[in-house]
Amino acid sequence: MTFPRTLAARLALVVLLACSGPVVAQSVIDQYPAGPLTQRTTEEIQLVFDRHNARFAAVHRRAAMENPALAAGGNIIIRYTIAPNGRVTECQLVSNAFKDPVFERKILQLVMSMQFGAKDVPPFTVERYALRFHDTAEPQRAVPALPSSPPPTPLPLRTSQDVQQAFRRDWQDIHAIYRQAMQQSVELSKGGEIAVSFIIAADGQLQDARLVSSDFDHPVLESQIVQRVALVRFEAGNFAPLRIARYPIPLSPRDLGPMFLGRTMEEVQIGFDKHKLGFSEVFRDASNRNPLLHKGGKIIVSFTIAPDGRVSQAGLVSSSFQQPEFEAQILGVLLSMRFEPKDIPAYSYPNYPIVLFPSKEPAAP
């Protein structure tokens, strides 16, 4: 915005700013965009409010006729959000000097009816916007005064590339947390997404990191990921604080690559698939001797695979059968299994499910 040079233009600008205007504005990103982040300017927002000045004054005048206490005028501070299509999707009362619920509700309804024009930008939230209502007994005019300095230039926002680069630097640490959790819980190997929200401060520190959503039913993993996200640092600079309402973090064993110093779940599953017949035969023989096993069930085992591919240790974690002899036979099949030799440390799985169905081979977990 160019600051006016002539005295008349300056006076006109002061009158415009004295009528109403946003106090603090903050951009809110709901979906993470590519390229530089854009937003609505205070000038275009003010122009829309200027076009509705007469409607606001009319609502105030009619309310003052019913409630003379409103005639003295005062301020109403509101918070509102403008959607990309230009509609106001949310409007809340922050503070006001009137204490008249009926009048306040009509003002909020008027703001909700305003149209700011469609624009290809993220939803834009104005945290504090002052609506100033003058004494209805006096002419509504602003007292002109020359500003002591030009209006401040809005601070730039960080770009999506800035955010991506910062997370790329910490990607290995974040995936190391996932890898560690997956070693303790095989169910995590299916992968998924954890989404977080946070605020990037001007000094580059990340504040108010929170969990938004998760594909994992694993509070420990989710908490550790959020704590690690809070340690991500951005380059300090002359930037406005930026709130990211949803940042997705995809987690998958395929993304671990050379960092995954163990056996992949695909390798382990192939080994179990090769021994389905062995598990089925043990289950069928045991079912013929004990009818209680006919309905099937699930056995959860723990085991360790040595570097040469042998199962060096196997244990029972839980079982729906409650048949010690049958469960010992299942562990015997597990100990007989062989995996491909690999130049890696011995790798342990603390809870692997083996599901057994009547007259069927073991189902893949």
User: Is 174 found in the same domain as 82?
Assistant: no
Class of residue 219 by CB neighbours under 10 A (exposed 0-12, middle 13-18, buried 19+)? exposed
CATH number at residue 303: 3.30.2420.10
CATH code of the domain containing 117: 3.30.1150
Is residue 341 situated within a structural domain? Answer: yes
186 domain residue, yes or no: yes
Q: Which residues of 279-309 are buried (b: 16+ CB within 10 A; e: fewer)?
A: bbebbeebbeeeeebeebbbbbbbbebbeeb
Domain boundary among 117, 133, 149: 133
Q: Are residues 21 and 90 in the same domain?
A: yes
- For residue 23, what are the contacts with CB-CB under 8 A and spacing of at least 6? 77, 127, 128, 129, 130
Same domain, 229 and 273: no
Is 151 domain-assigned? Answer: no
Q: What pLDDT is stored for residue 276 in this prediction?
A: 86
In this predicted structure, what is the pLDDT of residue 221?
92
Residues 333 and 232 in one domain: no
51 lies in the same domain as 103: yes
What is the pLDDT at residue 359?
Answer: 56
Two structure tokens written together for 226: 């959020």
Q: Are 21 and 128 found together in one domain?
A: yes
Read off the pTM: 0.36
| Same domain for 220 and 327 | no
| Same-domain status, 301 and 340 | yes
Q: Quick check: is 323 in a domain?
A: yes
pLDDT at 237 (0 to 100):
78
| pLDDT score recorded for residue 252 | 80
Range of the domain at 79: 7-133
Same domain? For 127 and 173 the reply is no
Residues 164 and 234 placed together within one structural domain of the fold: yes
pLDDT for the residue 81: 92
| pLDDT for res 196 | 93
Report pLDDT for 112. 93
In-domain check, residue 27: yes
Structurally, how many domains does the chain consist of? 3
> What is the pLDDT at residue 25?
31
How many C-beta atoms surround the C-beta of residue 103 within 10 A?
Answer: 21
- The series of mean pLDDT values per 10 residues for the chain, 365 residues long, is 44 38 34 48 86 88 85 87 92 87 91 90 87 66 47 69 84 85 78 90 89 90 92 84 87 59 73 88 86 84 89 90 88 92 76 76 43
pLDDT of residue 38: 57
Q: Are residues 254 and 271 in the same domain?
A: no
